[in-house]
Amino acid sequence: MKFNTKTIHGGQHPDKAYGAVMPPIYQTSTYAQSTPGGHKGYEYSRSHNPTRSALENALASIENGVYGLAFGSGLAAIDAVLKLLKPGDQVISTADLYGGTYRLFTKIFEGFGIKFCFVPMDNMDAIENYINDRTKLLWVETPTNPMMNIIDIKGVASIATKHNLLLAVDNTFATPYLQRPLDLGAQIVMHSVTKYIGGHSDLVMGALIVKDKQLADQLYFIQNASGAICGPQDSFLALRGIKTLHVRMQRHCENGKKVAHFLKSHPKVDDVYWPGFVDHPNHLIAKNQMDDYGGMISFSTKEDSLEGAIKVVEKFKIFTLAESLGGVESLAGHPASMTHASIPKKEREKIGVKDSLIRLSVGIEDIEDLLEDLQQALA
Ligand code: P1T
């Protein structure tokens, strides 16, 4: 089955009870048993729920995985992966990544004795230099949030294989429409389903997708034992989102390309970060591992100041100033004070997240309206 068909049919079957084409919302915490243990595959909704199962099957299908696990948020999904580790273990992570992931790593798991090295992963030697016998996990986010760096998943996967390490890839920005990390050698794909997969800014959810049964069993144990699951209503919404992922992504990419080029040629704009530019430092990797370049763009203005950035984001009329990304509507963010405020200023600036940086999640509106909005905000 090809990708566009998979988004609609992958892992999906009409409901067994009445043939409902969309899985019903099984709004129940528990299931009747005829005798202790005598149930129809479902006993308690933290462990399993039919609507969540339908979503998990769809997620596994679109990522070319075998097992999907859905969580209450993207961070809950990352939390579950980190719980595979033990005190003393080491994680090597992409240097620039979502601020909340950095906060989870450094403020929660470092406290439990797990060590994190944040490494610019465009240099494979740099990764190998940090590996020791305590290293267990390589954590990759690509494209990175918000600097739009691209990490060579195949390259990192070969290091992971050589040293017998787990490789997890946060595929939130790309989605499986653009890149499929399990095909490139990763063992775990992670999503903030909140973003493009949900696609309508109406839910908060996370997911993990894997191929290996033993790894799936371990993660399922954590999902059930720690309990950070998502509910059936949100599972239904995410499933509905998946069914239009390909058409939405196609438009996000088309609009993203036009916005990126508009910004690059605008006299008041300084740097524009978007992997589709031939002069983007990782453009060739993006060209190889992604099918298009997405709708996420960061930029700074020539004024290069906090005040300048705030002036622009406050003037937007169609781009809404808000946290999050990946919905049908265009959003603008100011990473230094919003999504990446939890990274200390010094660390933030080291990875390029300066006070003047603005991040755009380009939606699927008419492009003329988006460009007009940018033009008036920059005027
Ligand atoms: O918000 P949540 O569903 O818990 O997902 C966390 C997360 C993980 N990974 C990436 C790449 C992300 O971008 C996020 C969440 N990001 C935002 C809320 C944001 O505006 O960047």
Number of domains in the chain: 2
Distances (CA, A) of 86 to 153, 163, 208: 25, 18, 20
What is the average pLDDT score of the chain?
Answer: 97
Same-domain check for residues 53 and 143? yes
Our answer on whether the CB atom of 141 is closer than 6 Å to any ligand 1 atom is yes
- The model's confidence at residue 285, banded by pLDDT at 50, 70 and 90, is very high
Dihedral of the CA atoms 225, 108, 347, 294 (nearest 10)? 20
- Is the per-residue pLDDT at 379 higher than 90? yes
Q: Compute the distance from residue 362 Cα to the ligand 1 centre, in Å.
A: 16
Distances (CA, A) of 143 to 11, 39, 97, 279, 323: 27, 44, 9, 16, 18
Our answer on whether the CB atom of 250 is closer than 6 Å to any ligand 1 atom is no
Q: For residue 83, what pLDDT is reported? A: 98
Residue range of the domain that includes 160: 3-242
Same-domain check for residues 210 and 226? yes
Q: For residue 123, what pLDDT is reported? A: 84
- Last residue of a domain, which of 202, 225, 242? 242
For the CA of 195, the closest atom of ligand 1 is 3
The string of pLDDT tens digits covering residues 326-344 is: 999 999 999 999 999 988 9
For the CA of 78, the closest atom of ligand 1 is 8
End-to-end CA distance of the chain: 48
Q: For residue 257, what pLDDT is reported? A: 98
Contact assessment for residue 293 and residue 276, using Cβ atoms and an 8 Å cutoff: yes
Our answer on whether the CB atom of 75 is closer than 6 Å to any ligand 1 atom is yes
Contact assessment for residue 27 and residue 238, using Cβ atoms and an 8 Å cutoff: no
For the CA of 323, the closest atom of ligand 1 is 20
What are the backbone dihedrals phi and psi of residue 180, each rounded to the nearest 5 degrees, phi first?
-125, 90
- Last residue of a domain, which of 183, 216, 242? 242
The string of pLDDT tens digits covering residues 14-69 is: 998 999 999 999 999 999 999 999 999 999 999 999 999 999 999 999 999 999 99
The string of pLDDT tens digits covering residues 97-135 is: 999 999 999 999 999 999 999 999 988 888 999 999 999
Give the lowest-confidence range in 9-18, 55-64, 260-269, 361-370.
Answer: 9-18
Nearest CA to ligand 1 atom 19: 324
Distances (CA, A) of 229 to 114, 126, 222, 313, 348: 24, 36, 10, 35, 31
Q: Compute the distance from residue 357 Cα to the ligand 1 centre, in Å.
A: 18
Same-domain check for residues 189 and 260? no
Q: Compute the distance from residue 231 Cα to the ligand 1 centre, in Å.
A: 19
Nearest CA to ligand 1 atom 5: 74
Nearest CA to ligand 1 atom 20: 324
The string of pLDDT tens digits covering residues 64-93 is: 999 999 999 999 999 999 999 999 999 999
- Last residue of a domain, which of 193, 212, 242? 242
> Which positions are catalytic?
46, 98, 170, 195
Q: For residue 47, what pLDDT is reported? A: 98
Our answer on whether the CB atom of 230 is closer than 6 Å to any ligand 1 atom is no
Same-domain check for residues 325 and 350? yes
- Alpha-carbon span 263 to 267, nearest angstrom: 8
Q: Compute the distance from residue 324 Cα to the ligand 1 centre, in Å.
A: 7
Same-domain check for residues 226 and 252? no
Residues in CB range of 170: below 8 A, 6 or more apart: 78, 97, 98, 101, 139, 140, 141, 142, 190, 191, 192
Q: For residue 280, what pLDDT is reported? A: 98
Our answer on whether the CB atom of 143 is closer than 6 Å to any ligand 1 atom is no
- Alpha-carbon span 231 to 202, nearest angstrom: 13
Q: Compute the distance from residue 74 Cα to the ligand 1 centre, in Å.
A: 6
Same-domain check for residues 56 and 162? yes
Q: For residue 163, what pLDDT is reported? A: 97
Q: For residue 122, what pLDDT is reported? A: 84
Q: For residue 259, what pLDDT is reported? A: 98
Residue 192 sits in a domain whose CATH number is 3.40.640.10
Helix (H, G, I), strand (E, B) or coil at 125: helix
Residue 265 sits in a domain whose CATH number is 3.90.1150.10
> For the whole prediction, is pTM greater than 0.85?
yes
Which of 68, 71, 80, 82 lies closest to 11, judged by CA?
Answer: 68
Same-domain check for residues 271 and 232? no
For the CA of 194, the closest atom of ligand 1 is 3
Amino acid letter, residue 336: A
Same-domain check for residues 196 and 260? no
Our answer on whether the CB atom of 206 is closer than 6 Å to any ligand 1 atom is yes
Q: For residue 225, what pLDDT is reported? A: 98
- Alpha-carbon span 143 to 87, nearest angstrom: 29
DSSP label at residue 283 = H
Same-domain check for residues 233 and 294? no
Q: Compute the distance from residue 35 Cα to the ligand 1 centre, in Å.
A: 43
The string of pLDDT tens digits covering residues 158-202 is: 999 999 999 999 999 999 999 999 999 999 999 999 999 999 999
Our answer on whether the CB atom of 335 is closer than 6 Å to any ligand 1 atom is no
Match 């008419």 to its residue by tokens. Answer: 366
Q: Peptide bond before 146: cis, by omega within 30 degrees of 0?
A: yes
Our answer on whether the CB atom of 100 is closer than 6 Å to any ligand 1 atom is yes
Same-domain check for residues 220 and 283? no
Our answer on whether the CB atom of 81 is closer than 6 Å to any ligand 1 atom is no
**Both tokens of residue 156?**
């990192």
Our answer on whether the CB atom of 74 is closer than 6 Å to any ligand 1 atom is yes
Nearest CA to ligand 1 atom 17: 324
Same-domain check for residues 233 and 357? no
Same-domain check for residues 9 and 128? yes
- The model's confidence at residue 147, banded by pLDDT at 50, 70 and 90, is very high
- The model's confidence at residue 302, banded by pLDDT at 50, 70 and 90, is very high
